[in-house]
């Protein structure tokens, strides 16, 4: 089994799925985390078809105890994580800023802000012991201040603030390197919710954006 270990969250669909597949094709062992078991199984089939390796983790990122168990298992099995790409995200229904349901606020804060902070805490030690540890957050600055996206935009801005502080705090260290990645607009199900009826012919396929990130590593 390859000892280059990549943890990808949100790996059951969209950009996370495409990136996990691309990493496996390039010789990484992919630890694929997502809530959707069916999507993870589809990913595993695609990875096995190209002779790659994957460990599937069907887990909600708001499950703090589950994240702790996963990180302990990563340490016990490999002792490190080389790459952490945090593409998991929760988006509630689009809503006027003054009418966001409390339950949607709570879910976005829990998944997009709190879980990000906790994963930084848990993954930082595993990345530091890797030869070239790297953590990458896909960003979406276009949603900040956008109509009907107040809760999502606020949670994405807070998520990036956590990541940027982590990057500043580790800038003088050899490892880990903390980065963000801004993918071009992609024809994902998430974008379809934001822009229903949009002409998708001009959008960049998720596999192209995954290849672009992989080439930058």
What's residue 99's pLDDT? Answer: 94
Q: Is 34 exposed, middle or buried (0-12, 13-18, 19+ CB in 10 A)?
A: buried
The two structure tokens encoding residue 80: 């490190």
CATH code reported for the domain at 5-216 = 3.40.50.720
Pairing of strands 83-86, 134-138: parallel
CA distances to 77, 157, 186 from 141, in Å: 36, 8, 14
Q: Is 174 exposed, middle or buried (0-12, 13-18, 19+ CB in 10 A)?
A: exposed
> Rounded distance, CA 157 to CA 140, Å?
9
pTM of the model: 0.94
Residue with tokens 């509630």: 92
> Rounded distance, CA 86 to CA 160, Å?
11
pLDDT tens digits in sequence order for the chain, 217 residues long: 457 999 999 999 999 999 999 999 999 999 999 999 999 999 999 999 989 999 999 999 999 999 999 999 999 999 999 999 999 999 888 899 999 999 999 999 999 999 999 999 999 999 999 999 999 999 988 788 889 989 999 999 999 999 999 999 999 999 999 999 999 999 998 888 888 888 898 999 999 999 999 999 8
> Rounded distance, CA 32 to CA 149, Å?
28
> Rounded distance, CA 91 to CA 111, Å?
9
Domain positions in the chain? 5-216
């Amino acid at each position: 089994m390859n000892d280059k270990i990549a943890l990808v969250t949100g790996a059951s669909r969209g950009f996370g799925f495409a990136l996990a597949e691309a990493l496996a094709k390039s010789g990484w062992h992919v630890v694929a985390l997502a809530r959707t078991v069916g999507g993870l199984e589809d990913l595993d089939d695609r990875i096995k078809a190209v002779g790659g390796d994957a460990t599937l983790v069907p887990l909600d990122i708001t499950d703090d105890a589950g994240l702790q168990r996963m990180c302990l298992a990563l340490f016990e099995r490999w002792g490190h994580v080389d790459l952490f790409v945090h593409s998991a995200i929760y988006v509630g229904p689009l809503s006027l800023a003054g009418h966001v349901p409390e339950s949607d606020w709570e879910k976005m804060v829990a998944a997009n802000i709190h879980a990000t902070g906790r994963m930084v805490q848990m993954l930082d030690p595993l990345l530091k012991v890797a030869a070239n540890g790297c953590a990458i957050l896909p960003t979406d600055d276009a949603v900040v201040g956008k109509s009907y996206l107040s809760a999502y935009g606020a949670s994405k801005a807070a998520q990036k603030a956590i990541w940027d502080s982590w990057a500043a705090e580790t800038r003088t260290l050899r490892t880990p390197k903390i980065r963000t990645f801004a993918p071009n607009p992609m024809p994902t199900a998430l974008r379809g919710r934001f822009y229903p009826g949009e002409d998708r012919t001009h959008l960049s396929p998720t596999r192209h954006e995954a290849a672009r990130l992989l080439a930058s590593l």
